[in-house]
């Protein structure tokens, strides 16, 4: 019972099980339950004992093997004990019948044919209206467990099951029946309308939360919400949603909250508008201390998001992430300030510090934060950004998410940290991909995306200490955006300096390859103007820039990555030619104008001035037909592995030891206080909870101070000419363009009559005003054009399903095959997949039939009895023959003499020849004066004739012993 191994005592346990005393037998069976397993060696010795106790007269003794069999059952043991268990279904005690039913279900898991043999009797017990309620509940439990595997076999039982549901009165049996009807309703649609009244009655009247949830879950699983008419469907759906809302609000049990959110996740698929009305309750669950409730709430808000509530939901999640990623020192400082302002004693100050720390610093696991970021991206990009009304807000959210993405440190041998690092890198790459998608699809937002990319790159370089690599995976997409749209950069020189720093501060080969191209594109955009004169200033600036680029790219020409090495070598050689052409081209003077080198103005820009890149559907590549003769599994080079192994051996020497180069040619690392950050970021942060709204959190609560200040400045600049916009009170009040127009048109005196007056129809406003609270007016949607994904033959991305090529390198097909090989295990660690292929009606599908086996066993037993009868008759006949051999004609009985060891005698014949012969039986007979045989040995032969001194040529058969009188008569010739 405490977990110690007692396999050594298995035989002793078996001995105690066979005790005639019930107290000892019970202890022995308890030891067998806890120690015996399917591979226990002495289990085969217990088969006869189990069969014997199953046939016992006492119910207490009979219950012991019935309760033990489910724990030690094997296929062979199930086959041996099935015939003894089936009669127990008709036992007079209800407890025995109930235990037998549960044991038969366990037998069916390891020996499915037992279910076919037991099903007629189980069905008979279920249909019996006078059966004990506990037995009926046990049958319903077994049928429910078997129903989801083969529901067709149990559909004829629906009338009886419906009767038990209505008149049962047992909550646990009602739960099982509802689960069973949920599997039967898809097979018989008429059941949905039949079940709706009793289920609705249970939902409205039952005080049991478990039964309430199972009723709602049964309605959802059975498809009742979508099978009845519209009126009934809306009524029952509204009732279920209201009950689930009450389970979350009225009960503080986290288990009820969890199951209520599970039900909401299923209802939202058919009635999303009803679930969206419970937004306040669901958003409250996002901040629950239970992480599982948070995840279920995230699943729910992800399914019910619309254009009206996207901003509120994302703002709530962003506020949560920012609170979890806030620096520890800032939280402690805020707590200390709160303590100094509100406490008068040391004890009160400590309590205030603890309360503030518990309120602000809510620990969130990294995997949860990564999951939240992924859900924010999914909700925002859903249906090709159909829910986004303000792309400027979305770009600022992406910028903030890059800063809040966790970057775990990898320790040696820490596999969990390695997995978290891969997940964090993946979500950071997704954020960068979203920035790129917005820039590619929404042309009007490219300037905003480029400004955000510049901010992200500057922030990553400033936050990473000198000598450390920048590990953010979003850097790849940011560098691609800076290079692809370099013609609209606000500060090309600063971005060129940042990109040149990345050549030595990134450890990812794919990021380095993109940075090389970005540097070339920015260089071509900034120096390839044909309209600008080739002045001495431009010549010197171009030469210095080329020198810096060549110096930064020189180490990349020896990079272990072949892709990075190839790109660096190509552009290094091209830029060397460009540097020679720029130095050889004289500068323009006042007398003579010179054109820039053609390498700068035409050759290099022509490499990147092609067609505009557009987004491609995810499955477009799979729709490309494979050319004839192309084998995708064939290696590109027969010795590719050896070539790659040689490339891995190449090592690069670090240049960190060159202090002169570091001092004069590298920019020093920024301090903790960035000079580029706005002054507002240096001030103390205000309390997030003051003036905040529950449904619409302010941008200050989840965006950094520099982003908020920039958005505020843009908003003021955008609305400065709006007469209905109330600006701030800090700046001077200047008249806008509308005031100027009125003043110029009317002169110094304003003409009041020139002001247009709108006619108001007061009759239309005479109706009663609604008293219900309405949702605030939605923000007008930003008028932008979002490009769709391109695919082959002009179809949308979802029109055609991509082909799944069967290849050994196809990971999807390998995963599918691996999943198919995985067997389904039940909670009892038994493979129950064979029950699904077992039909309870009709002929057996396999070659085994329990009834046929019973008939064959009966015939075999009858034949054995016949053989035994014949054997006994033959034995009795043989005994009569053997008795008859010792009785003479008159009926006198003589005793048999014991066999003596044969002796040898020597006889001399008349010719003087000596013969040695074996004498079997020699009798000494009396001599008479007249026979002349006195003193001679006489041998009694088989035929009654005496032979004296005659050599026997062969062994003679045994003959019956004769009486002495008869032998004398033969010898004397009488």
> Does residue 479 have a pLDDT over 90?
yes
Which one has a higher pLDDT value, 205 or 621? 205
Of the pLDDT bands very low, low, confident and very high (cuts 50, 70, 90), residue 725 is low
Report the alpha-carbon distance of residue 467 to residue 639 in Å, rounded: 37
Cβ(173)–Cβ(136) below 8 Å: yes
| Number of domains, the chain | 1
Which one has a higher pLDDT value, 950 or 260? 260
Beta-carbon contacts of residue 97 (< 8 Å; ≥ 6 apart): 88, 89, 90, 91, 125, 132, 135
Q: Any idea which residue has 């009165």 for tokens?
A: 169
End-to-end CA distance of the chain: 95
Q: Cα-Cα-Cα-Cα dihedral of 475, 480, 481, 486, to 10°?
A: 120
> Domain for residue 403, yes or no?
yes
> Domain for residue 451, yes or no?
yes
The pLDDT of residue 564 is 92
The pLDDT of residue 902 is 53
The pLDDT of residue 859 is 87
- Of 508, 434, 426, nearest to 478 by C-alpha is 434
> Does residue 25 have a pLDDT over 90?
yes
Of the pLDDT bands very low, low, confident and very high (cuts 50, 70, 90), residue 65 is very high
> Does residue 853 have a pLDDT over 50?
yes
Q: Lowest-confidence range among 103-112, 253-262, 307-316, 909-918?
A: 909-918
Of the pLDDT bands very low, low, confident and very high (cuts 50, 70, 90), residue 781 is low
Q: Stretch 52-56: mean pLDDT, rounded?
A: 92
Which one has a higher pLDDT value, 412 or 858? 858
The pLDDT of residue 728 is 56
The pLDDT of residue 828 is 46
In sign, the C-alpha dihedral spanning 453, 456, 462, 467 is negative
| Cβ density class 145-183: b for 16+ within 10 Å, e for less | bbbebbbebbeebbebbbebbeebeeeebbbbbbbbbbb
The pLDDT of residue 789 is 76
> Domain for residue 112, yes or no?
no
Element (H, E) at 179: helix 171-184
Report the alpha-carbon distance of residue 254 to residue 247 in Å, rounded: 10
H-helix segments, 252-365 = 254-267, 272-276, 279-286, 291-304, 310-325, 328-342, 346-360
Tokens at residue 9, please?
């005592």
Cβ(913)–Cβ(945) below 8 Å: no
The pLDDT of residue 24 is 93
Q: Stretch 753-765: mean pLDDT, rounded?
A: 54
Tokens at residue 611, please?
């067609």
Cα Rg of the chain (Å, integer):
50
Which one has a higher pLDDT value, 338 or 162? 162
Of the pLDDT bands very low, low, confident and very high (cuts 50, 70, 90), residue 54 is very high
> Does residue 230 have a pLDDT over 70?
no
Q: Lowest-confidence range among 541-555, 661-675, 712-726, 869-883?
A: 661-675
Which one has a higher pLDDT value, 402 or 888? 402
H-helix segments, 554-651 = 562-584, 598, 604-606, 640-649
> Domain for residue 850, yes or no?
no
> Does residue 832 have a pLDDT over 70?
no
> Domain for residue 48, yes or no?
no
The pLDDT of residue 858 is 84
Q: Stretch 104-126: mean pLDDT, rounded?
A: 89
Of the pLDDT bands very low, low, confident and very high (cuts 50, 70, 90), residue 333 is very low
Most confident of 105-119, 715-729, 818-832: 105-119
> Domain for residue 130, yes or no?
no
Cβ(155)–Cβ(187) below 8 Å: yes
Q: Lowest-confidence range among 43-47, 85-89, 554-558, 931-935?
A: 931-935
The pLDDT of residue 322 is 86
The pLDDT of residue 406 is 77
pTM of the model: 0.62
The pLDDT of residue 420 is 56
> Domain for residue 729, yes or no?
no
Q: Lowest-confidence range among 315-329, 430-444, 643-657?
A: 643-657
Element (H, E) at 396: helix 391-404
Cβ(700)–Cβ(708) below 8 Å: yes
The pLDDT of residue 418 is 54
> Does residue 869 have a pLDDT over 80?
yes
The pLDDT of residue 747 is 56
Residue 435, domain extent: 366-410+418-616
Report the alpha-carbon distance of residue 316 to residue 284 in Å, rounded: 10
Q: Lowest-confidence range among 257-266, 585-594, 822-831?
A: 822-831
Q: Which residues pair with 905 in a beta bridge?
A: 917
The pLDDT of residue 689 is 42
> Does residue 889 have a pLDDT over 80?
no
> Does residue 352 have a pLDDT over 80?
no
> Domain for residue 395, yes or no?
yes
Percentage of the chain modeled with pLDDT above 70? 66
Summarised one tens digit per residue, pLDDT across range 186-196 is 888 888 888 88
Averaged pLDDT of the chain: 75
Report the alpha-carbon distance of residue 53 to residue 59 in Å, rounded: 10
> Does residue 633 have a pLDDT over 50?
yes
| Residue 734, Ramachandran bin (φ over 0: left; ψ between -120 and 50: alpha; else beta) | beta
């Amino acid at each position: 019972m405490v977990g110690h191994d007692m396999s050594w005592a298995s035989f002793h346990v078996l001995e105690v099980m066979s005790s005639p005393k019930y107290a000892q037998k019970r202890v022995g069976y308890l030891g067998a339950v806890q120690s015996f397993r399917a591979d226990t060696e002495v289990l085969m010795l217990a088969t006869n004992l189990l069969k014997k106790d199953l046939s016992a007269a006492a119910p207490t003794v009979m219950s012991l093997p019935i309760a033990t069999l489910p724990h030690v059952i094997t296929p062979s043991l199930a086959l041996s004990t099935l015939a003894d268990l089936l009669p127990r279904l008709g036992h007079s005690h209800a407890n025995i019948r109930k235990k037998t039913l549960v044991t038969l279900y366990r037998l069916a898991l390891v020996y499915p044919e037992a279910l076919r043999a037991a099903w007629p009797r189980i069905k008979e017990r279920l249909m019996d209206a006078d059966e004990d309620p506990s037995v009926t509940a046990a049958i319903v439990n077994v049928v429910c467990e078997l129903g989801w595997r083969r529901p067709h076999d149990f559909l004829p039982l629906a009338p009886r099951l419906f009767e038990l549901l209505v008149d049962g009165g047992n909550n646990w049996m009602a739960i099982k029946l509802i689960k069973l009807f949920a599997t039967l309703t898809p097979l018989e649609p008429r059941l949905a309308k039949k079940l709706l009244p009793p289920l609705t009655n249970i939902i409205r009247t039952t005080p049991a939360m478990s039964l309430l949830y199972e009723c709602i879950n049964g309605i959802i699983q059975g498809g009742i919400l979508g099978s009845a008419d519209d009126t009934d469907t809306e009524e029952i759906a509204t009732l279920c949603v209201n009950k689930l809302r009450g389970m979350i609000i009225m009960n503080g049990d986290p288990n009820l909250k969890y199951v209520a959110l599970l039900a909401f996740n299923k209802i939202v698929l058919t009635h999303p508008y009803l679930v969206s009305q419970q937004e306040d309750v669901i958003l409250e669950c996002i901040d629950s201390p239970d992480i599982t409730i948070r995840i279920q709430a995230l699943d729910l808000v992800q399914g019910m998001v619309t254009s009206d509530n996207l901003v509120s939901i994302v703002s709530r999640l962003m506020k949560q992430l920012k609170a979890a990623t806030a620096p520890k020192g800032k939280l402690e400082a805020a707590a200390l300030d709160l303590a100094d302002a509100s406490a008068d004693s040391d004890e009160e100050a400590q309590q205030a510090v603890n309360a503030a720390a518990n309120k602000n610093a809510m620990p969130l696991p990294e995997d949860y934060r990564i999951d939240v970021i992924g859900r924010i991206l999914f909700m925002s990009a859903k249906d090709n950004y159909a829910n986004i009304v303000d792309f400027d807000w979305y770009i600022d959210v992406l910028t903030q998410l890059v800063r809040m993405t966790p970057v775990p440190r990898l320790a040696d041998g820490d596999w969990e940290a390695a997995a978290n690092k891969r997940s964090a890198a993946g979500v950071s790459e997704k954020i960068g991909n979203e920035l790129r998608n917005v820039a590619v699809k929404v042309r009007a937002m490219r300037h905003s995306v480029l400004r955000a990319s510049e901010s992200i790159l500057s922030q990553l370089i400033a936050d990473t200490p000198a000598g450390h690599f920048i590990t953010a995976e979003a850097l790849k997409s940011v560098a691609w955006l800076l290079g692809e749209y370099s013609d609209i950069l606000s500060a090309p020189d600063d971005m060129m300096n940042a990109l040149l720093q990345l050549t030595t501060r990134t450890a990812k080969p794919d990021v380095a390859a993109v940075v090389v191209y970005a540097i070339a594109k920015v260089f071509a955009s900034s120096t390839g103007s044909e309209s600008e004169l080739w002045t001495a200033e431009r010549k010197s600036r171009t030469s210095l820039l080329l020198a810096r680029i060549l110096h930064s790219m020189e180490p990349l020409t020896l990079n272990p990555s072949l892709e990075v090495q190839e790109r660096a070598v190509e552009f290094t050689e091209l830029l060397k030619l460009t540097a020679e052409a720029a130095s050889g081209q004289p500068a323009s003077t006042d007398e003579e104008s010179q054109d820039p080198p053609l390498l700068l103005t035409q050759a290099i820009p022509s490499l990147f001035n092609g067609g505009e890149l557009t987004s491609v559907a995810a499955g477009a590549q799979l729709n490309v037909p494979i050319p004839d003769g192309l084998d995708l599994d064939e290696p590109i080079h027969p010795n590719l592995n050896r070539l790659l192994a040689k490339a891995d051996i190449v090592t690069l020497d670090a240049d960190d030891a060159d202090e002169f180069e570091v001092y004069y040619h590298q920019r020093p690392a920024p301090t903790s206080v960035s000079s580029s950050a706005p002054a507002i970021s240096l001030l103390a942060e205000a309390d997030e909870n003051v003036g905040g709204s529950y449904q619409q959190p302010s941008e200050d609560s989840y965006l950094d101070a520099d982003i908020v200040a920039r958005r505020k400045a843009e908003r003021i600049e955008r609305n400065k000419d709006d007469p209905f916009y109330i600006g701030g009170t800090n700046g001077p009040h200047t008249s806008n363009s509308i005031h100027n127009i009125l003043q110029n048109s009317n002169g110094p005196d304003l003409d009041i009559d020139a002001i247009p007056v709108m006619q108001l129809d007061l009759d239309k406003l005479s109706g009663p005003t609604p008293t219900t609270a309405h949702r605030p007016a939605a923000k007008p949607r930003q008028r932008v054009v979002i490009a769709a994904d391109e695919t082959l033959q002009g179809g949308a991305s979802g029109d055609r399903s991509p082909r799944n090529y069967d290849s050994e390198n196809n990971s999807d097909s390998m995963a599918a095959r691996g999943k198919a090989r995985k067997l389904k295990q039940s909670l009892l660690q038994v493979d129950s997949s064979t029950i699904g292929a077992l039909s309870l009606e009709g002929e057996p599908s396999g070659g085994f039939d329990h009834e046929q086996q019973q008939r064959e066993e009966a015939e075999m037993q009858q034949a054995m009895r016949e053989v035994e009868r014949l054997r006994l008759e033959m034995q009795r006949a043989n005994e009569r023959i053997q008795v008859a051999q010792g009785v003479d004609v008159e009926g006198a009985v003589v005793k048999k003499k014991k066999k003596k060891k044969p002796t040898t005698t020597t006889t001399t014949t008349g010719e003087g020849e000596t013969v040695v012969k074996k004498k079997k039986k020699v009798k000494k007979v009396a001599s008479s004066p007249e026979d002349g045989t006195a003193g001679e040995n006489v041998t009694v032969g088989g035929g009654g004739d005496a032979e004296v001194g005659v050599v026997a040529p062969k062994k003679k058969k045994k003959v019956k012993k004769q009486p002495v009188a008869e032998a004398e008569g033969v010898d004397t010739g009488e």
